[in-house]
C-alpha cells in the first residue's frame, strides 16, 4: 500500500440516493404498467415512466454536481481517485456481461436452435414432425411458422457506421493525449469531433432502422434473426446515446476549464466507456452483420 495513512473522504448524508431510488421505482412501475397497457386505452404507465426518467435525470445532475464540486475543491485523494477508477472498470465489466447474454442468445440460436429445428444432430424427427418444410439457414429469413424477412447486408450503412465509430475512438484518444499534454484547444477540437461522430453514428442507425422496418420487413418481431438484430443493435445504440451525453458533459466541463493532466477521472471514465461501446460494436459488426 503506497498511500500510507492518507485521509479518505467519506461524504456526509446525501439525499441523491433516495431521490434516485424513487426515480427507479417510478421507472419500474411506469414501464411495467406501460407494457401491460400496450393493447388497452390506458396511458397512465407512460406518464409514470416519464416522471421517473425526469427524476433520474434530476438526480444524475445533482449527484454529479456534488461530486464535481467536491473534486474541484480538492477533497479527494489519490486513493479516492483509484476507487472511482476501479468502480468504473467493474461497471464496464458488468456491461460487458450484459451484452454477453445477448451474444450468447445469438450464437445459441444460430449454432444450435436453428440447426436442430432443421433436423441436425439427432433431431431428424423434430424436423419431420414439427415443420418438415423448414430450412435451417442463417440469417433466418423464413421462420418455422412462416414469417419472412430480409437479411441486413453488412455493406453500406453498417460499414460506414463501423468506420465512424472506429474513427471516433481514435479522435477521443487524441483528445485524451492533448489533455495530458495540456493542449486545451486541441482537446476541445478533438472532443467536439468525437461527439459529432457519435451523433453521426446514431443518425445513420436511425436511418438503418427506418430502412429495415419500411423497406425490408425486418422488424423486432420477425423471428430470432430480427430479435437478436434489434436487441443487440438497440442496446448498443442506447449505450452510444449515453456515451454521447457523457462526452457532451465532458465537453462543457472542458470549456469551463475543468480537468488537469494529473486529475481527470471523469474524462478517463468517459473515454473508457466510449472505447467499450466501440469494442461492442466491432463484435456486433462481425457476428450480427458480416458472418
Partner 1 sequence: MSTITQDAPAAHDDHHDDHHHGAPKGLMRWVLTTNHKDIGTLYLWFSFIMFLTGGAMAMVIRAELFQPGLQLVDPNFFNQMTTVHGLIMVFGAVMPAFTGLANWLIPMMIGAPDMALPRMNNWSFWILPFAFAILLSSLFMEGGGPNFGWTFYAPLSTTYSPDSTALFVFSVHIMGISSIMGAINVVVTIVNMRAPGMTWMKLPLFVWTWLITAFLLIAVMPVLAGTVTMVLTDKYFGTSFFDAAGGGDPVMFQHIFWFFGHPEVYIMILPSFGIISAIVPAFSRKPLFGYSSMVYATASIAILSFLVWAHHMFTTGMPVFAELFFMYCTMLIAVPTGVKVFNWVATMWRGSLTFETPMLFAVAFIILFTIGGFSGLMLAITPVDFQYHDTYFVVAHFHYVLVTGAIFSIMAAAYYWLPKWTGNMYDEKLGKIHFWCSTISVNVLFFPMHFLGLAGMPRRIPDYAIQFADVNQIVSIGGFAFGLSQLIFLAVVIKCIRGGEKAAAKPWDGAEGLEWTIASPAPYHSFTTPPEVK
Alpha carbons 55 and 65: distance in angstroms, whole number: 15
Hey, what's the torsion of the CAs at 75, 80, 85, 87, to 10 degrees?
-110
Alpha carbons 211 and 274: distance in angstroms, whole number: 26
Instruction: Report which DSSP code applies to 6.
Output: P
Cell of residue 135, nine digits: 430450412
CB closer to partner 1, 57 vs 255: 57
CB closer to partner 1, 204 vs 216: 216
Nearest-approach distance from CB 250 to partner 1, in angstroms:
20
Hey, what's the torsion of the CAs at 223, 225, 230, 235, to 10 degrees?
120
Nearest-approach distance from CB 28 to partner 1, in angstroms:
4
Nearest-approach distance from CB 263 to partner 1, in angstroms:
17
Nearest-approach distance from CB 239 to partner 1, in angstroms:
13
CB closer to partner 1, 33 vs 188: 33
Q: Which of 198, 196, 170, 166 is nearest to 285 (CA)?
A: 166
CB closer to partner 1, 18 vs 282: 18
The three-class DSSP label of residue 9 is coil
Nearest-approach distance from CB 286 to partner 1, in angstroms:
20
Alpha carbons 243 and 290: distance in angstroms, whole number: 25
Nearest-approach distance from CB 236 to partner 1, in angstroms:
13
Q: Which of 185, 183, 198, 174 is nearest to 249 (CA)?
A: 198
CB closer to partner 1, 41 vs 185: 41
CB closer to partner 1, 75 vs 177: 75
Radius of gyration (C-alpha) of the chain in whole angstroms:
23
Amino acid at each position: 500500500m503506497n498511500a500510507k495513512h492518507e485521509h479518505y473522504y467519506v461524504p456526509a448524508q446525501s439525499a441523491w440516493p433516495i431521490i434516485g431510488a424513487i426515480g427507479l421505482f417510478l421507472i419500474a412501475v411506469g414501464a411495467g404498467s406501460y407494457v401491460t397497457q400496450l393493447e388497452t386505452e390506458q396511458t397512465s404507465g407512460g406518464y409514470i415512466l416519464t416522471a421517473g426518467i425526469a427524476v433520474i435525470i434530476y438526480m444524475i445532475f445533482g449527484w454529479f454536481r456534488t461530486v464535481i464540486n467536491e473534486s474541484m475543491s480538492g477533497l479527494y485523494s489519490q486513493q479516492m481517485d483509484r476507487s472511482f477508477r476501479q468502480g468504473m472498470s467493474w461497471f464496464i465489466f458488468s456491461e460487458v456481461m450484459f451484452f454477453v447474454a445477448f451474444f450468447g442468445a445469438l450464437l445459441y440460436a444460430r449454432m444450435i436452435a436453428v440447426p436442430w429445428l432443421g433436423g441436425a444432430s439427432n433431431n431428424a424427427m423434430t424436423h419431420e414432425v414439427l415443420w418438415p418444410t423448414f430450412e435451417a439457414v442463417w440469417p433466418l429469413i423464413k421462420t418455422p411458422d412462416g414469417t419472412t424477412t430480409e437479411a441486413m447486408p453488412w455493406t453500406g450503412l453498417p460499414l460506414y457506421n463501423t468506420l465512424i465509430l472506429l474513427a471516433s475512438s481514435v479522435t477521443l484518444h487524441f483528445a485524451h493525449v492533448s489533455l495530458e499534454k495540456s493542449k486545451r484547444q486541441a482537446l476541445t477540437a478533438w472532443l467536439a469531433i468525437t461527439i459529432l461522430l457519435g451523433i453521426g453514428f446514431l443518425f445513420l442507425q436511425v436511418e438503418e432502422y427506418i430502412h429495415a422496418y419500411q423497406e425490408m420487413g425486418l422488424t423486432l418481431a420477425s423471428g430470432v434473426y430480427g430479435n437478436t438484430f434489434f436487441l443487440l443493435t438497440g442496446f448498443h445504440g442506447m449505450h452510444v446515446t449515453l456515451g454521447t451525453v457523457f462526452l457532451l458533459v465532458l465537453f462543457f466541463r472542458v470549456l469551463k476549464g475543468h480537468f488537469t493532466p494529473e486529475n481527470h477521472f471523469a474524462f478517463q471514465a468517459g473515454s473508457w466507456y466510449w472505447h467499450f461501446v466501440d469494442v461492442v460494436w466491432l463484435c456486433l459488426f462481425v457476428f450480427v452483420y458480416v458472418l
